[in-house]
Structures are given as structure tokens and as C-alpha cells.
């Protein structure tokens, strides 16, 4: 049985597992795994091509707050709210992306500019506290008053099972998008660009346009992730969906799993979830923050010793066995 068959089998198992009678909480974990897998993958679509953004919290936050505010303040269905969020995200992504790419703002500077963006979004959310509830957060008004278990119009579902399949669907879509970006000319172009921009431009590759396309794509996908998050969790706050914290978390999640590999970010999401849950079980709920402690420590160790991430490191070792060359390059890197 080759890798292909194995993956399909694994997928089938994942799809069917909830029917095996999982409790509410484990199911919740699976929903979260799929959701964050989706979000981290969305980030990495852009991140792996040399555009490391520290500001995806901006897009997540815009998505989350658009749907909740439109619903709570004006009774607009989250379908419309999401559309508004997407439009706003596209505008933001272009406003930041176009000048950045045009003026060759890269590396450190790009990371810090995008960080500024996510902080702007967070601060605006907090400043508009009349409407958004400020730092206290906000909850979408329930549309499931009369004993209904779901409302399609309000995008609210009681059943975690339903949410699981929704998240799973989006996650699969993200993988498909990744694959499509890879296959298209854009991918080769972007690889060339991230390696040697001027050379790429001289061969006629539309550098800025390609970069912008991928940026907008990544941003919109993240925005939708915010929509899903808001509608599922039914509580959002500026710090959890926007700002530097969540932005860094996205970067780390993707990198911990391995941002150059298709399933890397997903792996990172699962890993982080297992880590925080495992620590919660071990240490108990009394001591806040121990999971973050280990998390931070692991991140540091990863970047130093395994910059390709867990999955990346594993794959590298598997491939390296015949020639020992993988080991050598790993050693040379550090």
C-alpha cells in the first residue's frame, strides 16, 4: 500500500471517527484541530514562499468581527457579514501588500509592518468598544432560541458533528488550494522570486502581481477562518483573534509542523493541541500558563535545532537514510 492509498484510508478514518461515539470534548478537539489546521495552512501558503507575515491576526480578526458585528448590530446574516469581511480583507491585503512588494519591503521589515497591521486592527476593535465590547469581547446573538438545533441563515449549529465536517471541508479545500498554487505557473514563479527576485523579474515573471495574488489568497482564507472561528466558538475578543499574539501563534504553528510541506501546518496544529491538552491533564487547570511555557521553550528549540519543523525533520531523515547526506546538511545548517 503506497502513500496515496494510506492517505485516503487515513482520511476515511478521520471522517468516520466521530460516529464511533466520541464525547463532546474530544469532538471539540477535533473541530479545533481541523480549524487551526486550516488557518495555519492558509498562513503557510504565503509564508513558505518567503513572505513571512506577522500580521495574519488582522485578517482573522476582520473575518471574526465582521460576521459578529453585522449580525448583532444590523441583523445581517453571517453570509453577508463574511462577504463584507472578505472584501475588507482584500482591501487590507492590497493596501499592505502592494506597496510592500513594490518597495521591496522584505524580511524583518515586512514582518514588522504586517505586525503593525494586526495591531492596528486590534486597537481599532478595542477603540470601538461601544460596538465591539472592547477587550471584553463579544458573542453573536443566538438564533437558536426556539429549540432549533441549527440556523443556516445565522450560520449557527448546535451540533459539533456538523461543525467538524464543515471545518474538515475547509481544511481539505485549503490543501487543495495549496496544491493548485503549487501546480500553477505561479508556484514556480514564486519560488524563483523568493530565491532571486531580480533574476526572476528579468525573465519576465510578474513579480509583484504574483506576490500580491498569493497574499490576497492567503489573507482571504484566513479571514474565512476567522468567520468559522466566531461562529463556532460563539465568543471572540480582540486578543484572541487579532494582534501580535495570535499572529505569532499562527506562524509558530505552521513552522513547528513544517511550513514547506503540505501537511506541515496541520501537523503543527495537531501537535499544539495535543501539547496544550496533554499539559492540562498532567498539570491540571490550576497552574495557568504551563502549556505556554513548554510551548515557548519548544519553539525556541525547534528553530535552533529543527527549523524545517517536526514533519519536515522527519521527512528529511527518512529521505536521508540511503545517502547520509540529509544528516550532513542538517549538521552544516547549525
Partner 1 sequence: MDSIFDIFLLEAVLNGVLLGGLLALLSLGLNLIFGVIDVVWICYAELVMIGMYGIWWLHTQQGLPLPLAMVISISMVAACGVLLHQYVVSPVLSAEPINQLLVTGGVLFFLQAFATVLFGVEFRNVGFRMPSLNLGDMSFSGARLVAFGVAVAAIGGMWWFLRNTYLGTAIRAISQDRGVMPLMGVNARQIYTLTSALGGGFAGLAACLLVLQYDVHPAIGLTFGPLTFLICVLGGLGNLIGGLVAAFVFAQFISVGGFFLQLEWGYVIAFVFFIAVMFWKPEGLLSKRR
Stretch that binds partner 1, among 155-163, 212-220, 225-233, 288-296 (CB under 8 A): 288-296
3-state secondary structure of 236: strand
Residue 303 lies near partner 1 (rule: CB under 8 A): yes
Give the contact letters, 30-69, x = binds to partner 1 (CB under 8 A), - = no: ----------------------x-x---------------
What per-residue string of b and e applies to 70-82 under the rule 16 or more CB within 10 Å gives b?
A: bbbeeebbbeebb
Tell the smallest beta-carbon distance from residue 201 to partner 1 (Å). 18
Rounded to whole angstroms, the Cα distance separating 28 from 274 reads 13
Q: Using the rule CB under 8 A, which residue among 292, 327, 328, 329 binds partner 1? A: 292
Residue 173 lies near partner 1 (rule: CB under 8 A): no
Residue 109 lies near partner 1 (rule: CB under 8 A): yes
Rounded to whole angstroms, the Cα distance separating 281 from 92 reads 40
Nearer to partner 1, 52 or 155 (CB): 52
Sign of CA dihedral 276, 277, 278, 284: positive
- Based on its alpha-carbon atoms, the radius of gyration of the chain, rounded to whole angstroms, reads 20
Q: Using the rule CB under 8 A, which residue among 84, 120, 143, 315 binds partner 1? A: 120
Residue 320 lies near partner 1 (rule: CB under 8 A): no
What per-residue string of b and e applies to 260-289 under the rule 16 or more CB within 10 Å gives b?
A: bbbbbbbbbbbbbbebbeebeeeeeeeeee
Q: Count CB neighbours of 303 within 10 A.
A: 13
How many binding residues for partner 1 (CB under 8 A)? 50
Residue 299 lies near partner 1 (rule: CB under 8 A): yes
Rounded to whole angstroms, the Cα distance separating 178 from 38 reads 11
* CA 267 to each of CA 128, 175, 291, 311: distance values in angstroms, whole numbers, following the listed order: 36, 13, 18, 7
Got the DSSP string for 3-51?
Answer: HHHHHHHHHHHHHHGGGGT--HHHHHHHHHHHHHHHHHHHHHHHHTTT-
Stretch that binds partner 1, among 26-34, 160-168, 207-215, 237-245 (CB under 8 A): 237-245
Stretch that binds partner 1, among 31-39, 103-111, 142-150, 162-170 (CB under 8 A): 103-111
Tell the smallest beta-carbon distance from residue 51 to partner 1 (Å). 10
Rounded to whole angstroms, the Cα distance separating 24 from 305 reads 37
Q: Are 84 and 69 in contact (CB under 8 A)?
A: no
Residue 278 lies near partner 1 (rule: CB under 8 A): no
Stretch that binds partner 1, among 11-19, 140-148, 158-166, 300-308 (CB under 8 A): 300-308
Nearer to partner 1, 78 or 243 (CB): 243
| Binding residues vs partner 1 (CB under 8 A) | 52, 54, 96, 99-100, 103-105, 107-109, 111-113, 115-117, 119-120, 123-124, 126-127, 239, 243-245, 248, 251-252, 255, 287-293, 295-300, 302-304, 307, 333-334
Amino acid at each position: 500500500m503506497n502513500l496515496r492509498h494510506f492517505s485516503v484510508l487515513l482520511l476515511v478514518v478521520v471522517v468516520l471517527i466521530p460516529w464511533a461515539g466520541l464525547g463532546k470534548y474530544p469532538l471539540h478537539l477535533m473541530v479545533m484541530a481541523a480549524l487551526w489546521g486550516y488557518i495555519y495552512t492558509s498562513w503557510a501558503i504565503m509564508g513558505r514562499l518567503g513572505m513571512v507575515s506577522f500580521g495574519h491576526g488582522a485578517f482573522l480578526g476582520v473575518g471574526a468581527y465582521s460576521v459578529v458585528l453585522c449580525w448583532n448590530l444590523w441583523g445581517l446574516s453571517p453570509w453577508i457579514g463574511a462577504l463584507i469581511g472578505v472584501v475588507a480583507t482584500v482591501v487590507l491585503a492590497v493596501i499592505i501588500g502592494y506597496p510592500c512588494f513594490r518597495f521591496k519591503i522584505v524580511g524583518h521589515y515586512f514582518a514588522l509592518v504586517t505586525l503593525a497591521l494586526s495591531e492596528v486592527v486590534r486597537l481599532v476593535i478595542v477603540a470601538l468598544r461601544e460596538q465591539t465590547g472592547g477587550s471584553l469581547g463579544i458573542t453573536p446573538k443566538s438564533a437558536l432560541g426556539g429549540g432549533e438545533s441549527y440556523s443556516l441563515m445565522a450560520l449557527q449549529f448546535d451540533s459539533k458533528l456538523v461543525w467538524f465536517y464543515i471545518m474538515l471541508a475547509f481544511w481539505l479545500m485549503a490543501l487543495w488550494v495549496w496544491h493548485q498554487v503549487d501546480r500553477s505557473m505561479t508556484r514556480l514563479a514564486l519560488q524563483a522570486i523568493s530565491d532571486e527576485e531580480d533574476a526572476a523579474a528579468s525573465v519576465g515573471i510578474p513579480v509583484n502581481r504574483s506576490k500580491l495574488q498569493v497574499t490576497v489568497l492567503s489573507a482571504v482564507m484566513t479571514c474565512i477562518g476567522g468567520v468559522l472561528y466566531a461562529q463556532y466558538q460563539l465568543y471572540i475578543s480582540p486578543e484572541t483573534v487579532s494582534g501580535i499574539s495570535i499572529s505569532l501563534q499562527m506562524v509558530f504553528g505552521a513552522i513547528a509542523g513544517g511550513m514547506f510541506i503540505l501537511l506541515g501546518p496541520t501537523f503543527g496544529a495537531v501537535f499544539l493541541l495535543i501539547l496544550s491538552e496533554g499539559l492540562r491533564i498532567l498539570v491540571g487547570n490550576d497552574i495557568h500558563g504551563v502549556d505556554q511555557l513548554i510551548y515557548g521553550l519548544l519553539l525556541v528549540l525547534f528553530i535552533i535545532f529543527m527549523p524545517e519543523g517536526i514533519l519536515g525533520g522527519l521527512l528529511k531523515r527518512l529521505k536521508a537514510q540511503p545517502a547520509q547526506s540529509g544528516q550532513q546538511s542538517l549538521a552544516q545548517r547549525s
